[in-house]
Amino acid sequence: MQFTAAAIQFEPVMGEDERNLERLTSMIEEAAAAGARLIVVPEMAPCAYCFQDRAEIAAHVQTVPGPFTDHLSERTARLGCVIVAGLAEVDLETNLYYNTAVVVGPDGYIGKYRKVHQFAGDARWSLEGDLGFPVFATPVGRIGVEICMDAIYPETGRLLALQGAQIICFPTNWIGQGGRPSQRWITQAYENGVYLIAADRWGEERGVQFQGGSCIIAPDGSVEASATSGDSIVYGVIELPRTEARPFADGSPEDKLADRRPHLYREMLQNTYGFAPAYYHRLFDRSGLPEPRRSEIGVLQFAPEMGNPDVNRRRILEMAGGRHLDLLVLPALALPGTPDLPSDDLDALAELSRDLASLIVTTVAERTDSGTYSTAVLVGPEGPIGRHRQWHLTAEERTWAMPGGEPPQTFDTPIGRIGLLAGYDALFWESTRVLSTLGADLICIPAALRWPLPRPIGDGSEWVYWHSKAWESYVALAVANRPGPEYAGSSEIFIPAVKEVDDVEERASRNSEALLCVSFDSGSRYIREKRGMGWRRLHWYTPLVR
């Protein structure tokens, strides 16, 4: 099935509900006349957003079904479309209020979703949603709904995708990002292989600046169309067959959902950060997190020569030997360049660590009696400090390696608490979530990945997959990839901060060889406190580990 969808962007005015509904209805009629069969409008569209308390919003809440859904049903029946729209809901049985989105089709009211993850403004008057994350069968496909803050949490999009959602409809009142699609929205579409239709409001209300940037995002993460600020309608073409297979790239056998390893993700459901970190990590005579320290860390993007560890070793020393680094992350199989060589990689890596006076992270082909693993290793001058047997394998890696199944670990070093992932592992956000739950300050990712590539999103900005993963799990990421043309390159050190303008980023181009170096403070408040991890709503997430 192929059809046109529309995201409506407009500015509701507080206290002018009737006028808001007139304007909204006019834009719905316009979108339908242009051929849109699915129309999404912003969060709390009829009444605006910044209410101080229950008393102030009481005159603006509605039942569901109720007057607003009846109004929409009249239009959907006549226009033959599906509408997803936000409003403030009252439950007459309890007199509790919810930030809600409704789904209405040609045959009338279909269902509703109540916002689960609240922003501070919601908590002034509403209760967290109690309906979970339903997926609705509609004439235009299987629709899941998120509202605004829900998109901060990758659990939301994944729960919808696992239930078969083809389209995520996203009414929102988003702040920040400067009138362009958010990195988080693009990432949700990309990592779940779904369309995402973001309908954002714009304008200023009670000192809050809303961004606009409404858009339609394809399952590969490409932005099909977007708005900046101002009232506008964004149109895009939805091709539902694109959501049936969920590869990371056209033609690749890897699958964004089928390749998950749910039983290995259980630690991510522990409420580690529901408590003060200093208390939690020292409980029961544990030593606590490593003392905060500023360290120099580096990532080396280079193309190892296959089967020639001596040449690769010299190349690493040439590129990195002039910098004093406390930690250096290398691409996958950095010394042999191939898994085929029987070698003493760990001894050679310890020697390299001594020569560079730096901890080293890369992968090795670990041979055991049961088979060969692709194993990420953290090595110091005295030898191995920690390892992680790769959980998720690409089709190419499956030809020589078996998947690891060991529980996740972190490793305490003078640099901080370090987590290890190997390449493809890091494209499953559950892996970074697990290590964050265990208190990782820094996750090191030696890789040989062909995707994802950075993508322009307007105003000279780019979508970079690793940024969303660092922000959402409150960790620093150091990704060392091989350069193109066969590989994606784009190696990265990204350190998120409380204010995104203070983020630290060093990134290589796709094709060049490069050494990236930054100063890393393991005591960063954003990383050590991981406050948003404690705001997750874990009781809804158990399907993620089944």
499 flagged as catalytic: no
φ and ψ at 150, to 5 degrees? -55, -35
50 flagged as catalytic: no
**What is the Cα–Cα distance from 65 to 253, expressed in whole angstroms?**
44
Count the residues in the chain. Answer: 546
Whole-angstrom distance between the N-terminal and C-terminal Cα of the chain? 31
The dihedral through the CA atoms of 264, 265, 269, 275 has a sign that is positive
Note the helical H segments in 111-231: 120-123, 154-162, 183-192
517 flagged as catalytic: no
Annotated catalytic residue, options 47, 89, 146, 148: 148
DSSP states of 228-286 = -SSSEEEEEEEEGGGGTS-BSSTT-S-BTTTT--GGG-GGGGS-GGGS-HHHHTTGGG-
Question: Is residue 382 within 8 Å of 350, Cβ to Cβ?
Answer: yes
Burial of 510 (0-12, 13-18, 19+ CB in 10 A): middle
Annotated catalytic residue, options 47, 112, 115, 366: 115
| Six-digit token string for 508 | 């290589």
| Category of 288 on φ-ψ map: left (φ > 0), alpha (ψ -120 to 50) or beta | left
Return the half-sphere exposure (C-beta side, CA atoms, 13 A cut-off) of residue 161: 25
* Active site members: 43, 115, 148
